[in-house]
C-alpha cells in the first residue's frame, strides 16, 4: 500500500531511517528547559486572578515579603521599570496594550497579578498563597455573544472587535445565492482548545554580566525568540542568546513568548539573578493562550446537478483579552474553497475581545474551512441525493484543470485532492461498506463512513516578513565527518533526522556521519521555526542546495590533488573515487585534512576548508493535498463513537522519511479526534475555566485512536527536492472526516449539529430526538449574522446627491490581514480624473484613478506583504471617507478615514 | 519544614539524601538526585510522564513523596539501558517503531512497559494496551507505541504501510 516514490538517488531520502533524536530521548538524556539550572538560580511563581474581570482595589504583599527564602515580590509597577512590548507573531505591537502583570484591573481568570521570586518553587508558591489582592468584581464578557452585546473588554476601544475584514453585506453574492437551485445554510460552533503540549511553557533567564542575556526557553525557534526579544526589550546594550535543545511539543502555543515569560525576563533584569519559571499544568490550562473557539455561518448555493455556484461565509473567533495575534483569521476564507471550482465566494470575518485567556495558534489555525466545507458538502449530497464522493468529483479542481487560480486568486499548478480521492477509493470499497452498513442497521448497529478532501498551504516563505527561507550551513570537518548547523528547529518533528537524510543523500556520505545542530540562536541563521508546515520543504531545500555546493567543493579539490578531471571524481559513502583509477580512491578525511591544514596544496583561489552554506527560499506556497476516509460505529445506547478504520491518502510530494511523515499525519489525526470527540477548554458564565486538569480536559488516549493506514501519492512539488509540508494536515482534514462518518452513522435519526465536541450527550440528543443539555452549558443559539457594534459604511453604488469636496489630505485606516494599516492620502481631482499620493511608513506611492460624483476608484500595485494589486473603491461624504479595498487573495478590506486638511 | 533522611537504591547505586516531608518524589529525583529524565507533565497523576519504578511497581512520582521512597529500590529511565549503552528491549522497540516524537512523555511510557515486560512470562497485548491507556502522548497518535507493544507482547507488528 505504500506507494512512496523516492527521488532519484534515494539512498537516504525516502527511507525509514532511524531517528537521531531517539537514543537521548529514550534514555532520559534529553535537554528540556526544566533540565537547565544555573548556580544561584531562583524560582518564580505567580499570583493569579481568581475572577474574570474586576478592578484591583488593593494588594497586600507584607506577609509574602517577610517569608524566609523569598527574594522579591513584584507587581506591575515594579516591572514597569523594564520596558517590554509584547509583539504578535508578525513582530508588530498589539492593538491594545498588553501588560506583563495586571495593573489596575484583571481581564481573565488566571491573569497574573504578582510575581514571586524565592529559593525554590515550593517557597515561591507558599509566598504566593499569602498575597492578598482585593478586587471589585465586574460582570465578565465571556462568550462571543457577550462580546457582541456586552461591555467593552478594553475601555478606550471603539468596540470588542479586535479585527475585521471582508464585506458585512454583499449584494452580488446575495443575488447569486438567491438564484441557486439548492441553498444550504449551516452554522458550525468550534469549542476552545488547549494545545496541551506535554511540556508546559518554561523559561530560564540569566543575565551574564552587564551585556549579555542568556535565555533558555521552550519554543518553536530560538532564532525567532531572539529576534522577538531584541525588538520587545529594545535594549541595544544587551546581546541576546536563546537556546532550546529539546522541546516537548508546541503545536502553535510556543511561537512567541507571552506575558509570563516576558515578566520573568523583566524580573531577572531587575534582580540580577538567574530565574526559572516552569508553568504547571493548572497554569497551562488557565493562562497559556488557547485556540479555536470559533463560530461560522456558511451559505452555499448549488445548481440542480450539485455544482457549486456561490458561497458566503461569516466568521467570528473569540480572541480573549490579550491575543497573541488579534486577527480575524482571513486564512479561513483564503483556503475555504481553494480546492474546488466555485465561481464566487465572499466573506465577513471578525475577531472579538473577551474576558478569557488570549488566542494563540494551534496546528492548522485556519482548519475551520475544511470542517464547515466538507460537512456541508455531505449535507448537500444527502439533500440532493448524490453520493458524497460524486459531489466532490463534480466540484474538485483536478490536475487536468491546472494551471488555474482559486476564486480568491491564489495560483494552483499541481494540487491533487481529486487524484488523492481516487487513490483512496482503490483501498476503500464504498459499495462493500454500504452493504455492510445496511446489514448492520438490520442488527441495530450504526456504522458510518466519512470522506473529506482538502489542500493545505505549506512551506510558506516570502509572503510575510517573518516567514523567511531557511539556512543550511555544512562542513566536512577535518575528521571527514559532516556537521550541519540548521535554522530549523524540532519540537518533535525530527529535523535532526530528516535534514541529515537529505544532506547524506545529496553529499554522498553515510547517514551516521552527519550530525545536525539546531536550537541555538547564536549558531546558524534566522528561521521562524515550525510554523505553517514549512521546515521539511524549506530546510530540506536548503540542505540539498548546500550539500550540492559542498560536494562540488570536495570534487574540485580532489580532482586537483589527484590530477584528475573533476567530472571523473565522485563522492559515494564518504569515499572519493576517480573513474577508472581505483588506486586513487581516497577517504573524505584524507582530502579534508589537506583542505584545512595544507593550504599550499590547494588549487589557486580555493578557499581553505570544506564549508558551504545556502539560504533557500521556495516558491511562496507549496500545496499539500489529501483525501481521508473513516469508518465509525456509534453505540446508540451510550452515544459513544468507536473508530473502526481510518485511511489517509495524501500527497506531500517527495517523502524524506515515510515514518516521520506518517508520524506527523497520525499526530494531527489524534488531535483531530480530540477536537471532535473529547477536548473542551471552556468557561462558565462567570468566566471561570471549566477544564483545569487533565481529568477535565480530556486528551485522546491510546484506546481512542485507531491504527491509521496510509497511501502516499508523492507528486513532486516545484520546490527544491520536490518536498511538500505535512505537519498540520491531519489536524485540518481529520475533523471533517470524523464528523462526516458520525453524521452518516446517525443519518437515520436526524442531522448531527456542527457543534464540537460531539460528546455522548450531544449524540444522544440526536439519537433520542430531545435536548438533554443543561441550560447553563448550552451553546448560545448563533445569530446568523453578527450585530455590528461599530459598523463602517460600505461604498454604496448610488450616485451622490451633491458634489463632494475630495481634494485635500485624508487620514485613513485599512483593516488588513496584519491589522489596521494607517496611512495618509493626498487627493486631487480634475474633471473625472483623480490623482493622489498615499503616504505610509512603507513609503510614498502615487496613483491615478477616476471620480464619479463622490465615488473614487483607483488601483495600486504593492509588493508588501506580497505582490498585489489593491483596488480602492471609496465614497466621500462631508469630511469622512469610507469604502472597500480589494486585496486579491486576501479578499476585501474595509477602509475608513477623515479629512485632515 | 522538617528534613528527613532518605536512603534508596537508585538505578543500581546506593543513594543518600534528605528532603522535606512535602517534597514529591519527582522533584527529588530531578533536582536532588539529578535524574532529569523523570518528566513532570501534569502533577496530578493523569499523564504518566513521571512514572518511575519503585520496588518493582510502576508509580507516578508526582503522586508520591520522596520520604515514601526511603528504603526502596528506584529505577528511572536513566537506569534501564545496559552499562555498555545497549538499549533496553522496550527502548529498542520504541526506536525501531518510531514510537516517539518530542520525547517528553517517553520516559514514563518506557518505565511502564519495561516494568510489565521485565518478567519471565510476557504479558498480553491487551494488558500492555490497558497499562498504556494511563499515559498521554500528544505527538504520535500512539501508532508507534502500539506497534512496539505488539512486538513486546511477542506478536507481529500491525504496521500496514
- Chain centroid to CA A175: 35
Chain B residues near residue A492 by CB distance under 8 angstroms: 101-103, 139
Cα separation, A335 vs A332, whole angstroms: 6
Region A90-114: mean pLDDT is: 95
**Per-residue pLDDT band at A867 (split at 50, 70, 90):** low
The total of other beta-carbon atoms located within 10 Å of residue B23's CB is 21
Residues A829 and A731 in one domain: no
pLDDT at A868: 74
- What percentage of residues in chain A have a pLDDT greater than 70? 94
Question: Looking at chain B, which residue has its C-alpha nearest residue A657?
Answer: B98
- Position A801 pLDDT exceeds 70: no
Is a pLDDT exceeding 80 seen at residue A802? no
What phi, psi does A461 have (nearest 5°)? Answer: -155, 140
Cα-to-chain-centroid distance, residue A299: 26
Any domain includes A270: no
Contact residues, chain A, for B84 at CB < 8 Å: none
In this model, does residue A451 exceed pLDDT 80?
yes
Give the residue from A254, A365, A285, A363 showing the smallest Cα distance to A317. A365
Closest chain A C-alpha to B106 CA, distance in angstroms: 6
Q: Is residue A593 part of a domain?
A: no
Q: Predicted confidence band at A796 (pLDDT cuts at 50, 70, 90)?
A: very low
Alpha carbon distance A483, A102 (integer Å):
46
- Chain B CB contacts of A675 below 8 Å: none
* Position A786 pLDDT exceeds 70: no
Provide the number of structural domains found in chain A. 2
Q: Are residues A632 and A763 in the same domain?
A: yes
**Could you tell me if A726 and A816 lie in one domain?**
no
pLDDT tens by residue, A587-601: 999 999 999 999 999
Three-state DSSP class for A29? coil
Confidence grade of residue A853 (pLDDT, cut at 50, 70, 90): confident
Model confidence band, residue A749 (pLDDT cutoffs 50, 70, 90): very high
In a domain, A685, yes or no: yes
Verify that A724 and A639 share a domain, yes or no: yes
Using a CB-CB cut-off of 8 Å, the residues of chain A touching B78 are 27-29
ipTM above 0.85, yes or no: yes
What value does the mean pLDDT of chain A take?
92
Lowest mean pLDDT among A24-28, A646-650, A787-791, A857-861: A787-791
Write down the pLDDT at residue A864. Answer: 58
Q: Which of A200-214, A269-283, A562-576, A780-794 has the lowest mean pLDDT?
A: A780-794
CB pairs under 8 A between A and B: 178
Question: What sign for the dihedral angle of Cα B146, B148, B154, B156?
Answer: positive
Tell me the chain A residues in contact with residue B80 when contact means C-beta distances shorter than 8 Å.
27
Q: Are residues A738 and A635 in the same domain?
A: yes
Query: Domain ends where: A744, A772, A800?
Result: A772
For residues A639 and A641, what is the distance between their CA atoms, to the nearest angstrom?
7
CA of B90 vs chain A CAs: smallest distance (Å): 9
**Residue A352 is inside which H or E element, if any?**
strand A345-353
CATH number at residue A431: 3.30.365.10
Cα–Cα dist B72/B80, whole Å:
17
The residue with greater pLDDT, A557 or A814, is A557
Question: Which residues have a Cβ under 8 Å from the Cβ of B161 and sit 6 or more positions away?
Answer: A1, A2, A658, A662, A709, A710
A758 lies in the same domain as A629: yes
If residue A899 lies in a helix (H) or strand (E), which one and from where to where? Answer: strand A892-899
Rg, chain B, Cα only: 16
Mean pLDDT of A276-292: 97
Of the pLDDT bands very low, low, confident and very high (cuts 50, 70, 90), residue A526 is: very high
- What does the pLDDT read at residue A800? 44
Indicate if A839 and A888 belong to the same structural domain. Answer: yes
* Residue A901: pLDDT band with limits 50, 70, 90: confident
Mutating which of A118, A248, A702, A705 best tests the B interface, going by the most B Cβ atoms within 10 A? A702
Rounded to an integer, the average pLDDT of A334-349 is 96
Inter-chain touch B77–A693, beta carbons under 8 Å: no
Mutate one of A4, A16, A19, A27 to test the B interface: name it (highest B CB count within 10 A): A27
Contact between B103 and A21 using a beta-carbon 8 Å cutoff: yes
**Partner-chain contact A707 B132, CB within 8 Å:** no
Q: Tell me, letter by letter, the H, E, C secondary structure of A323-339.
A: CCCCCCCCHHHHCCCCC
- The range of the structural domain enclosing residue A839 comes to 808-899
CATH number at residue A838: 2.40.128.120
- Put simply, the answer to whether B23 touches A26 (Cβ < 8 Å) is no
Look at residues A254, A167, A158, A238 and name the one whose alpha carbon lies nearest to residue A205: A238
- B-chain residue closest to A249, CA distance: B102
Round to whole Å and give the CA distance between A150 and A34: 41
Would you call B138 and A663 a contact, using CB atoms and an 8 Å cutoff? no
Helix, strand, or coil (residue A547): helix
pLDDT value of residue A804: 75
| Residue that terminates a domain, selected from A772, A791, A818 | A772
What pLDDT, on a 0 to 100 scale, did the predictor assign at position A797?
46
Residues of chain B with pLDDT under 70: 1, 155-161
- On whether both A699 and A826 belong to a single domain, the answer is no
Residue that has been written with the C-alpha cell 491518502 in this structure = A649
Q: How far apart are CA A531 and CA A460, in angstroms?
A: 9
The answer to whether A496 and A516 are in contact (CB under 8 A) is yes
pLDDT tens-digit map of A714-736: 999 999 999 999 999 999 999 99
- Do B104 and A666 count as a contact with CB atoms less than 8 A apart? no
Which of the residue ranges A532-541, A689-698, A804-813, A815-824 would you say has the lowest mean pLDDT? A815-824
pLDDT given for residue B1 in this prediction: 64
Contact B103 A1 (CB under 8 A): no
Residues of B with CB below 8 A from A125's CB? Answer: none
- A100 assigned to some structural domain: no
Q: Are residues A645 and A755 in the same domain?
A: yes
Phi, psi for A323 (deg, rounded to 5): -70, 145
What was the pLDDT predicted at A817?
67
Those of residues 601-660 in A touching chain B at CB distance below 8 A are 658-660
- Report whether pLDDT(A441) > 60: yes
Single out the residue of B29, B137, B5 nearest to residue A699, CA to CA: B137
Q: What residues in B contact A246, CB-CB < 8 Å?
A: 102-103
Instruction: List Cβ neighbours of B52 (8 Å cut-off, separation of 6 or more).
Output: B25, B26, B29, B38, B58, B59, B61, B74, B75, B76, B77, B111
Q: What is the per-residue pLDDT for A320?
A: 97
Whether A825 and A754 map to the same domain: the answer is no
d(Cα A819, Cα A814) in Å, to the nearest integer? 8
Same domain, A669 and A726: yes
**A514-522 average pLDDT score:** 97
Chain A residues inside the 8 Å CB shell of B47 = 198, 281, 694
A775 three-class SS = helix
- Rounded to 5 degrees, φ, ψ at B7 are -125, 135
Q: Is the bond preceding A757 in cis, omega lying within 30 degrees of 0? A: yes
User: Within a 13 Å sphere around the CA of A289, how many CA atoms are in the beta-carbon half?
Assistant: 28
What tens digit of pLDDT does each residue of A316-330 get? 999 999 999 768 999
The answer, for A411 touching chain B at a CB cutoff of 8 Å, is no
Residue A874 lies in a domain: yes
Residue A792 has what pLDDT? 43
Domains of chain B by start residue, with CATH: 3-79 (3.10.20.30), 89-152 (1.10.150.120)
Q: Which residue of B has its CA nearest to A283?
A: B42
Cross-strand bridge partners of residue A711: A649
Query: Which of these, A718, A867, A250, lies nearest to A530 by C-alpha position?
Result: A250
The verdict on residue A695 lying in a domain is yes
DSSP string, A564-582: --GGGEEEETTEEEETT-G
Query: What grid cell was written down for A138?
Result: 465586574
- Closest Cα to residue A118, out of A77, A64, A82? A64
* End position of a domain, from candidates A754, A772, A790: A772
State residue A245's pLDDT score: 97
Asked if B103's CB is within 8 angstroms of A25's CB, the reply is yes
Do A748 and A839 reside in the same domain of the chain? Answer: no
In a domain, A233, yes or no: no
Using DSSP's 3-state secondary structure scheme, residue A523 falls into: coil
Domain membership flag for residue A673: yes
Amino acid at each position: 500500500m505504500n506507494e512512496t516514490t523516492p527521488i532519484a538517488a534515494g539512498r537516504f531520502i525516502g527511507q525509514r531511517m532511524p531517528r537521531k533524536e531517539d537514543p537521548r530521548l529514550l534514555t532520559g538524556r534529553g535537554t528540556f528547559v526544566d533540565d537547565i539550572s544555573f548556580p544561584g538560580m531562583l524560582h518564580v511563581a505567580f499570583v493569579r486572578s481568581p475572577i474574570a474581570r474586576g478592578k484591583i482595589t488593593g494588594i497586600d504583599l507584607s506577609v509574602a515579603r517577610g517569608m524566609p527564602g523569598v527574594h522579591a515580590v513584584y507587581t506591575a509597577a515594579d516591572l514597569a521599570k523594564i520596558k517590554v512590548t509584547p509583539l504578535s507573531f508578525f513582530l508588530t505591537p498589539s492593538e491594545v496594550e498588553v501588560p506583563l502583570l495586571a495593573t489596575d484591573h484583571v481581564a481573565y481568570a488566571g491573569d497574573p497579578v504578582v510575581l514571586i521570586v524565592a529559593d525554590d518553587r515550593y517557597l515561591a508558591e507558599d509566598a504566593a498563597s499569602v498575597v492578598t489582592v482585593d478586587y471589585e468584581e465586574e460582570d465578565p464578557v465571556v462568550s462571543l455573544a457577550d462580546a457582541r452585546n456586552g461591555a467593552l473588554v478594553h475601555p478606550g476601544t471603539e468596540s470588542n472587535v479586535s479585527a475585521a475584514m471582508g464585506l458585512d453585506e454583499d449584494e452580488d453574492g446575495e443575488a447569486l445565492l438567491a438564484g441557486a437551485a439548492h441553498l444550504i445554510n449551516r452554522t458550525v460552533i468550534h469549542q476552545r482548545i488547549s494545545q496541551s503540549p506535554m511540556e508546559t511553557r518554561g523559561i530560564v533567564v540569566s543575565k551574564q554580566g552587564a551585556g549579555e542575556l542568556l535565555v533558555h526557553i521552550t519554543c518553536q525557534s530560538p532564532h525567532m525568540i531572539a529576534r522577538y526579544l531584541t525588538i520587545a526589550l529594545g535594549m541595544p546594550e544587551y546581546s541576546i542568546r536563546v537556546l532550546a535543545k529539546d522541546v516537548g511539543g508546541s503545536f502553535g502555543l510556543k511561537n512567541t513568548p507571552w506575558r509570563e515569560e516576558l515578566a520573568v525576563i523583566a524580573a531577572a533584569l531587575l534582580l540580577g539573578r538567574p530565574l526559572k519559571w516552569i508553568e504547571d499544568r493548572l497554569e497551562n490550562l488557565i493562562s497559556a493562550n488557547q485556540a479555536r473557539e470559533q463560530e461560522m455561518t456558511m451559505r452555499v448555493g448549488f445548481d440542480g446537478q450539485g455544482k457549486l455556484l456561490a458561497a458566503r461565509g461569516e466568521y467570528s473567533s473569540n480572541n480573549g483579552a490579550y491575543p497573541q495575534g488579534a486577527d480575524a483569521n482571513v486564512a479561513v476564507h483564503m483556503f475555504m474553497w481553494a480546492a474546488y471550482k466555485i465561481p464566487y465566494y465572499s466573506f465577513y470575518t471578525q475577531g472579538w475581545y473577551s474576558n478569557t485567556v488570549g488566542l494563540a495558534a494551534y496546528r492548522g489555525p485556519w482548519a475551520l474551512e475544511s470542517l464547515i466545507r466538507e460537512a456541508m458538502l455531505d449535507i448537500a449530497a444527502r439533500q440532493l441525493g448524490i453520493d458524497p464522493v460524486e459531489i466532490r468529483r463534480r466540484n474538485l479542481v483536478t490536475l487536468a484543470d491546472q494551471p488555474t487560480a482559486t476564486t480568491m486568486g491564489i495560483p494552483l499548478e499541481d494540487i491533487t485532492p481529486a487524484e488523492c480521492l481516487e487513490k483512496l477509493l482503490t483501498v476503500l470499497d464504498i459499495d462493500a461498506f454500504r452493504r455492510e452498513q445496511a446489514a448492520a442497521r438490520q442488527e441495530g448497529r450504526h456504522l458510518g463512513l466519512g470522506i473529506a478532501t482538502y489542500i493545505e498551504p505549506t512551506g510558506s516563505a516570502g509572503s510575510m516578513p517573518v516567514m523567511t527561507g531557511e539556512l543550511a550551513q555544512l562542513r566536512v570537518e577535518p575528521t571527514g565527518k559532516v556537521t550541519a548547523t540548521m535554522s530549523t528547529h524540532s519540537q518533535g518533528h525530527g529535523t535532526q533526522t530528516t535534514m541529515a537524510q537529505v544532506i547524506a543523500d545529496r553529499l554522498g556520505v553515510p547517514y551516521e556521519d552527519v550530525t545536525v545542530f539546531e536550537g541555538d540562536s547564536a549558531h546558524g541563521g534566522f528561521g521562524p521555526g515550525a510554523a505553517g508546515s514549512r521546515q521539511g520543504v524549506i530546510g530540506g531545500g536548503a540542505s540539498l542546495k548546500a550539500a550540492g555546493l559542498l560536494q562540488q567543493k570536495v570534487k574540485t579539490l580532489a580532482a586537483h590533488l589527484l590530477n584528475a578531471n573533476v567530472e571523473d571524481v565522485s563522492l559515494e559513502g564518504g569515499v572519493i573515487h576517480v573513474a577508472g583509477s581505483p588506486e586513487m580512491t581516497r577517504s573524505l578525511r584524507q582530502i579534508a585534512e589537506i583542505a584545512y591544514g595544507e593550504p599550499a596544496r590547494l588549487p589557486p583561489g580555493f578557499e581553505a576548508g570544506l564549508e558551504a552554506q545556502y539560504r533557500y527560499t521556495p516558491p511562496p506556497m507549496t500545496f499539500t493535498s489529501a483525501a481521508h476516509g473513516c469508518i465509525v460505529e456509534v453505540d446508540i445506547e451510550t452515544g459513544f463513537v468507536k473508530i473502526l478504520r481510518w485511511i489517509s491518502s495524501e500527497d506531500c510530494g517527495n517523502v524524506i522519511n515515510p515514518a516521520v511523515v506518517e508520524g506527523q499525519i497520525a499526530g494531527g489525526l489524534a488531535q483531530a479526534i480530540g477536537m471532535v470527540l473529547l477536548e473542551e477548554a471552556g468557561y462558565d458564565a462567570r468566566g471561570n475555566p471549566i477544564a483545569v486538569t487533565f481529568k477535565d480536559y480530556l486528551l485522546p488516549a491510546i484506546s481512542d485512536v485507531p491504527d491509521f493506514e496510509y497511501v502516499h501519492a508523492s507528486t513532486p512539488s516545484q520546490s527544491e527536492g520536490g518536498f511538500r509540508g505535512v505537519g498540520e494536515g491531519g489536524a485540518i482534514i481529520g475533523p471533517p472526516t470524523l464528523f462526516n462518518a458520525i453524521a452518516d452513522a446517525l443519518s437515520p435519526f436526524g442531522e448531527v449539529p456542527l457543534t464540537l465536541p460531539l460528546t455522548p450527550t450531544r449524540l444522544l440528543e440526536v439519537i433520542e430526538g430531545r435536548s438533554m443539555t443543561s441550560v447553563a452549558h448550552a451553546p448560545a443559539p448563533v445569530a446568523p449574522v453578527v450585530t455590528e457594534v461599530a459598523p463602517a459604511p460600505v461604498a454604496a453604488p448610488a450616485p451622490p446627491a451633491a458634489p463632494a469636496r475630495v481634494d485635500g489630505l485624508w487620514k485613513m485606516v485599512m483593516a488588513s490581514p496584519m491589522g489596521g494599516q494607517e496611512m495618509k492620502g493626498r487627493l486631487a481631482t480634475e474633471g473625472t480624473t483623480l490623482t493622489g499620493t498615499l503616504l505610509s511608513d512603507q513609503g510614498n506611492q502615487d496613483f491615478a484613478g477616476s471620480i464619479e460624483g463622490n465615488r473614487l476608484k483607483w488601483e495600486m500595485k504593492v509588493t508588501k506583504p506580497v505582490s498585489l494589486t489593491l483596488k480602492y473603491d471609496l465614497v466621500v461624504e462631508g469630511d469622512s471617507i469610507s469604502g472597500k479595498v480589494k486585496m486579491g487573495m486576501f479578499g476585501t478590506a474595509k477602509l475608513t478615514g477623515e479629512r485632515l486638511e | 519544614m522538617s528534613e528527613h533522611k532518605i536512603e534508596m537504591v537508585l538505578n543500581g547505586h546506593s543513594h543518600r539524601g534528605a528532603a522535606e516531608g512535602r517534597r514529591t518524589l519527582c522533584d527529588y529525583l530531578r533536582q536532588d538526585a539529578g535524574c532529569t529524565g523523570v518528566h513532570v507533565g501534569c502533577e496530578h497523576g493523569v499523564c504518566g510522564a513521571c512514572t518511575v519504578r519503585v520496588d518493582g511497581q510502576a508509580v507516578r512520582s508526582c503522586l508520591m513523596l520522596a520520604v515514601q521512597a526511603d528504603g526502596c529500590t528506584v529505577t528511572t529511565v536513566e537506569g534501564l539501558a545496559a552499562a555498555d549503552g545497549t538499549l533496553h528491549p522496550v527502548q529498542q522497540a520504541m526506536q525501531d517503531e518510531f514510537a516517539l516524537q518530542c520525547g517528553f512523555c517517553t520516559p514514563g511510557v518506557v518505565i511502564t512497559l519495561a516494568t510489565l515486560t521485565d518478567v519471565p512470562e510476557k504479558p498480553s497485548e491487551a494488558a500492555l494496551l490497558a497499562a498504556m491507556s494511563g499515559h498521554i502522548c500528544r505527538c504520535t497518535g500512539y501508532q508507534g507505541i502500539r506497534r512496539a507493544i505488539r512486538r513486546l507482547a511477542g506478536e507481529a507488528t500491525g504496521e500496514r504501510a
